[in-house]
Amino acid sequence: MPLSWNEIKTRALAFSKEWQEETSEDAEAKSFWDGFFNIFGISRKRTASFEEPVKKLGEKYGYIDLFWKGVLIVEHKSRGKSLDKAYSQALDYFSGIAERDLPKYVIVSDFARIRLYDLEKHEQHEFDLKDLHKNVRLFGFVAGYQTHKIQEQDPVNIKAAEQMGKLHDRLKESGYTGHSLELYMVRLLFCLFAEDTGIF
């Protein structure tokens, strides 16, 4: 069962304080990401691997800092290094990854800053590590939370529903009520749907 958002925020705050002074990618990046996954109650070892070998364009091989197949690539740098270069490096790996394993997210970090790219929504979010607890919902996918975008109804559908409602009310006012009215409305709706979709 996923942790509550309050528990995740509490863990994120503790994580930020623990890692606020770290600078060296080589020495501590793996521990950093193990701790990051732990914020969400997830064992990194069970979901993602470090230094995943991947063939880049040409004959060269590269090593993805952290790879969760089909979900996430992480590129980590030492404090102060370019996050743009880290992102470019992450994208260079895509050509060597099977289509089914391509990630939906890329995270780049230099300990002090974290930048998340949501590749499906074409969104980018960057913040300081100390503000991780304010941004944990961006990483809901790590804990298994899913976001659903509610799309606004097509104005034509809204108008059609209003007209069906008015027809129902007028028929009811004229004395056409009960099961007969409801059955008529369902049949009429089916006919409109069938005509719209080309069934007949």
Q: So where are the chain's domains?
A: 5-143, 155-197
Question: What is the C-alpha to C-alpha distance for residues 46 and 99, in angstroms, rounded to an integer?
Answer: 21
Residues 84-90 have a mean pLDDT of: 95
Contacts of 31 (CB under 8 A, 6+ apart): none
Residue scoring higher pLDDT (176 or 114)? 114
Interval 115-133 mean pLDDT: 96
195: its two tokens: 């005509």
Q: Give kind and range of the element (H or E) at residue 69.
A: none
pLDDT value at residue 200: 64
* Least confident interval from 22-36, 39-53, 72-86, 126-140: 22-36
Residue 151: pLDDT band by 50, 70, 90 thresholds?
low
Mind giving me the DSSP string for 1-28? Answer: -PPPHHHHHHHHHHHHHHHTT---HHHH
